[in-house]
Structure 1
Amino acid sequence: MKQQFLKIFVLSLVFTLSGICKTTAQKNLKTKKPNILFIAVDDLRPELNFYGANHIKSPNLDKLASESLVFNRAYCNIPVCGASRASLLSGMRPTRHRFIDHKTELDVDVPGVVSFPKLLKQNGYTTISNGKVYHHNNDDSLAWNSIWFPKGDTRDYQLEKNIKQNTAPNSRGEAFELAEVDDNAYFDGKIAQKGIDDLRQLKEGKQPFFLALGFMKPHLPFNAPKKYWDLYDRSNIELPESYVQPETTPKEAFHNFGELRNYGNVPKFGDISEDLAKELIHGYYACVSYVDTQIGLVLDELKRLELEDDTIVILWGDHGWNLGDHKLWCKHVTFEKALRTPLIIKVPGKTSGQQTNAITEYIDIYPSLAELVGLNAPETVEGQSFVPVINGETPDKDWGVSKFKDMVTLIKGDLFYTEWTKDDGVAYARMLFDHKTDPLELDNLAEKPEYQETVSHLAEELRAKWGKDFLNK
C-alpha cells in the first residue's frame, strides 16, 4: 500500500514539475522580444502589383504584401540614398545642413545619436548588417554585432567588356547588362545567401535579432542574369505618360540626371533616345524580378526555420526613382515619383494584407518599430509611430515633408507644394500640384491667381512642419 502511494506521489510530482516547466517556457516565449528582419531595396519604386501595377513580375514581394500592412502613401524624407538611410535609421529629419547627399554619414552629421540598430543592441538584440544598409559600410559601426558586404566593385559587372571599360580611368561600363550567369554571381545573390546563413545561426541563439539586409538592385547599373530579362518583351514596354517637361514647371525642378550620364552607353547631354529609354526600363524591370527572387529565398528560409511567427518583417525602398517621368531619370527631385516609396510591414498576428492611405514619412519607421518591440525611442527621434494604423485606427496625421538641396516639399492630402528656398528660408521658386486632378504633376498651380491664398497657407504650414532645426547650421 505504501509503495503504491509512493508511486502515485512521484508521478504526481513529475507531472506537476512538467507543468511548471511548460508554463515557464510558454511565459519565456511570450516575454521574449520579437525578431526583426529589415529589408532595404535600393532605388525600388512602388511600381509593383500590390500597388496596382501588373507588368512587373515580383511574386515573392506580392506574397509578403498579402501578409503585411501595405502603405500606399509612404514617402522618403530625402530622395538620395546616403541621406535617406541616415534619416530613416536615426528617425531625424533632413535639414538644410544635415543629411544632404549620397555621401552622408550618420556618425558625421549627428555623432553620438542612438540609431535604431544601436537602441536594439543596447537592449539585448543581436544586430547584423549585410549589404547596403547605410551608404558607408563602417557608418554607425557601434550599432552592430557584425557588418558584412560582398567583396568586389559595387557596379558588379560580369561581362568582360563592362569589366574592362569600368576599370579604365574616368570610365564606367554600360548602364545595364544581361549575363548568362547564376543568381549568386551578382551581389544580391550573395547577400541573400549570407542572410540565409545568418538566420540558421540566429535560430540557435537565445537573443532576439535584428537582421538587416540591404539589397543593391534595382540601382544602376541594371545588371541581372539573362533569365530575368527574358521575363519581359521590350516591344510591350512604353514610355511614361508624363514624358514631358511643361513650361509652367520651374526650370529648377529638372536636372541632367548625371548619375545615369556617367555610364558608357548613355549620351552626356540631351534627351535619351526612345530605344535606349525602353532598354533602360527593361533592365530596371529585370533587376526588380531578380531581387524579388533573392528576397523570396530569405523569406522561405525564415519560414522553414519556424521563425516566421516570432519575426516582424519590414521592407522598404530608400526613395523613389524616375524612369523617364518628366523626361527625368534617377532621383534627386521632389516630384512624387522620386519621393513615394514602397513600404510594407508584416507583424505576426496583426497583419494580413491590409492597405492604408495614411501619409507616412520614413522618420516614422524608427518609433513604430521601437513601439512594436516594447522600447522607448530617444528624444532625438522626430517621427510619429504608425502602430495605431497597424491596429486599425485612423491616424491623426495627414502630412509629410521631404527635401532635396534647396527644394522642400509639403505633402498635405492631395496637394504637393514645393518651394526652393535660400539659407534664410526665403523662397525663390515654387510649384503646387493637386493629385486629385493632376496625378502626373503636369499643371503647376503655384503662380495662378486663384491659388494664391492656398499657396500662402501651404507656405506657412511648410515652415511650421519642416522641423525646428531646419534652418540651423
Structure 2
Amino acid sequence: MRYTYNILLTAFLTLTIFSSGFCQEKSDKRPNILFIAIDDMNDWTGFLGGHEQTITPNMDKLADQGINFTNAHCSAPGCSPSRNSLLYGIEPFNSGLYPFYEHDIHATLMKEYTSLPRLLKENGYDTFGAGKIHHGNLNDEREWTHYDETKGGKQIFVEGEGYQKGKSKKMSFRPTHHADEDHKDHQVASYGIDVLNEKHDKPFFLAVGIVKPHLPFDAPKRFFDALPENIQAPAIYEEDLMDIPKEGLGMRKAGDYNFFKKEGKWEDVRRAYLACISWADFNIGRVLEALENSEYADNTIVVLWSDHGYHLGEKMSFKKFTLWEEATKVPFIIYDPRKDSKVKGGENYDEAVSLINIYKTIADFAVIETPKYVDGESLVPVLKHPNKTLKHPAITSWGKGNYAVRTEDYRYIRYYDGTEELYFHTEDDNEWYNLAKGEEYQEKKEELASYLPQNEAPLVKDFVAPWSVEGEGREEFRGTEVKKKKKASMK
C-alpha cells in the first residue's frame, strides 16, 4: 500500500513540476512590447501623406511592415489628458480628466487606476522606460523595473539660422550643432538600444518616449538642411472660419497664427517642425535597427503612436487644443513579427480608430485580463482581419461637453452649448465646409450623436491647470486664474 502511495506521490510531484515548468516556458514566450510614444506629431509623415516634403524613412518602413492605422485619433488634443486616457485606459468623460493637470495628480491616479506599465509589471513583465511616457516624469517602482531619467545636455544653436520668438526658449525654431548625444531624444533612444542589447529572462515592455516634435522646434542642423529650399504651406481657405460656432473659434490659438503671418515666419516654423519630425524618425530608426539586430526581433511587437496632432496654420491656428482633424489625427502603427500571430503586415486600416484601444490591445497580446473599468476594445481581431469593423468610432474630448466623433467618412462635433459642426471627409478632407445645418444631414447627425457619452464624469478639480479647462465649468476656473493674477499684481 505504501509502495503504491509512493508511486502515486512521485507521479503527482513529477506532473506538478513539469506543469510548472511548462507554464513558465509558456509565460516566457509571451511577446515583448516595444512601445514608442511620440509627442505632438501630426500626420506630416510619409506613411500618412500629410506633407509631401517630410522625410521619415524609418517610420515609413515600419508602416510597410505592420498595420498602418491611417485614421487614428487621440482621446484628447493635449499631452496630459491624452496620455492619462491611454496609459490608465479610461476615456476623459469617464474619468473626469478632461484638461491638463500638475504632475502630482499621478499619486491620486495610481490609487484609483492601474496604469498600463503597472499592469504588465504585476503580471510577469519587466518594464523599462525613458523619455516622455506619462505627462511628466513618473518614476514609480510600481510601474517600472527601471526608468531612466534622461536630461539632455547644453544646447548650441547655429548662429544666424532659424527663428526665435522674442527671448522665449520654448518658441524656438532653430538648428543646433552640438553633439547628437547631448540631445535628450538621442539619449532616450540610446537607453532603448541598451535594453535591447541586454539579456532578458522574462518578457519585457520597453517604453521609449520621443519628445520631438514638441516645442521648441530645435533639431540638429543636418535635418534642416535636408529639406527643400522652399517649404510648402498646408492648404488654407480664407473663409474657413465663417461657419464655425463661437465655442470652436474660441479653442483655436489665433494669436500665434496671426503673429507668424504678420512677421512672415510661417515657413521658418514649418521647416523647423519638419526637421524635428525627421530627427524623431532618426532616433526611432536607431531603436528599430537595434531591435532588428537583437535576439528579440521575432518576438517583439512594436506599438508606435503620437499623443495628438498639431495645427501648422490650418483653421488659422497653431498648436493643438481643438476638435478638428489636424489636432486629433495621429500616427499609429502596430507591427507584430511573430510567425504564429496570423497578423499580415503591410496593410492599411482606414476605419476610424481611437488610441483608447491601445491598453486592451497590449493586454490582449500579453494574455492579461484588464481591470473592469478599462474602456476601448482590443485591436487584435482587426490586426488579424483588416476588413473587420470596430464597434465604436473614435471619440475625442476637449472639456466636459465638447466632443468630436470620427468615423471613416465623417467628423461630427458637438460643443457643450449645443452648437455643432459636421464634415464629410470623402469630399472635404480639409474640413472647410460645415454641413451641420443642412437638412439632408440631420439623420447622419443623429446617428453620430448616438455615440456621444450619455453620462459625463464631473471634472476632476485637484491639481488642474486652470488655463486648460474648456467646456462646461470653464468660467469657474478662468475666473480663478484671473483672480490669482490680480492678487499677485497687488503684492
Q: By the TM > 0.5 criterion, same fold?
A: yes
**Is structure 2 residue 225 aligned with structure 1 residue 230?**
yes
Q: Is the 8 A contact 1:244 1:325 kept in 2?
A: no
Aligned-partner SS, 1:428: coil
Q: Which moved more, 1:447-456 or 1:379-388?
A: 447-456
The runs of 5 or more residues in structure 1 that have no matched partner are: 1-20, 422-426
Distance 2:421 2:55 in 1: 35
Q: Determine if the alignment matches structure 1 residue 334 to structure 2 residue 323.
A: yes
Give the C-alpha shift of residue 102 in structure 1: 3.3
Aligned to 2:240: 245
* Residues 428, 140 of structure 1: alpha-carbon distance in 2 compared, 3 angstrom cutoff: farther
Q: CA deviation at 1:335?
A: 0.3
Superposed, which structure 2 residues align to 1:376-455 within 5 Å?
376-392=369-385, 394-397=388-391, 399-405=393-399, 406-421=401-416, 427-455=417-445
8 Å CA contact 2:31, 2:301 repeated in 1: yes
CA distance in 1, matches of 2:38, 2:405: 25
Indicate how the Cα distance of structure 1 residues 444 and 147 shifts in structure 2: closer, same or farther if over 3 A, else same.
same
* Shift in alpha-carbon separation, 1:147–1:246, aligned structure 2, 3 A: same
Structure 2: how far apart are the matches of 1:109 and 1:61? 32
User: Please, which runs of 5 or more residues in structure 2 have no aligned partner?
Assistant: 1-17, 461-491
Map 1:114-125 → 2, pairs under 5 A: 114-125=114-125
Q: 1:296 matched to which residue of 2?
A: 285
TM-superposed CA distance for 1:107, in Å, is 3.9
1:28 positional shift: 3.2
1:364 and 2:357 matched: yes
Deviations 1:204-260 (A, max 9, x none): 1211110101001011111000000001124242243446532111132235766x9
| Aligned amino acid, residue 100 of structure 1 | Y
Deviates further, 46-55 or 212-221: 46-55
Residue in structure 2 matched with residue 150 of structure 1 by the alignment: 150
SS at match of 1:394: coil
1:1-400 aligned within 5 A:
28=25, 32-53=29-50, 54-95=52-93, 98-103=96-101, 105-109=105-109, 111-138=111-138, 142-151=142-151, 157-159=155-157, 171-172=168-169, 174-201=171-198, 204-242=199-237, 245-255=240-250, 270=259, 272-273=261-262, 275-348=264-337, 349=339, 350-392=343-385, 394-397=388-391, 399-400=393-394
Q: Do the aligned residues in 1 keep the contact of 2:28 with 2:201 (CA within 8 Å)?
A: no
* C-alpha distance in structure 2 between counterparts of 1:457 and 1:52, whole Å: 30
What SS does the corresponding residue of 1:184 show, helix, strand or coil? Answer: helix
Deviations along 1:336-366, one digit per CA (max 9) or x if unpaired, are 1111111001111324211111321111111
Q: Does the CA-based 8 Å contact 1:358-1:398 persist in structure 2?
A: no
Change (3 A) 1:173 1:122: closer
Q: Which residue of 1 aligns with 2:8?
A: none
> 1:112: how far off?
3.1
Superposition deviation, residue 305 in structure 1: 1.8
Instruction: Using the TM superposition, give the Cα deviation of residue 177 of structure 1 relative to its aligned residue in structure 2, in angstroms.
Output: 1.2
Distance in 2, Cα, partners of 1:391 & 1:186? 38
SS in 2 for 1:70: strand
Deviations 1:18-52 (CA, angstroms, capped at 9, x unpaired)? xxx9xx99993785211111000101112222223
Note the C-alpha offset of 1:434.
1.3
For 2:133 and 2:295, locate their aligned partners in 1 and report how far apart those are by CA, in whole Å.
Answer: 25
Cα deviation digits, residues 427-470 of structure 1 (max 9, x gap): 332111111222111111112344344434433x043xx26444
Q: Take 2:221 and 2:435, find their aligned partners in 1: how far apart are those partners?
A: 45
Query: Cα gap change, 1:397/1:243 in structure 2, threshold over 3 Å: closer, same or farther?
Result: farther
Moved more, 330-339 or 448-457: 448-457
TM-score (norm 2): 0.80
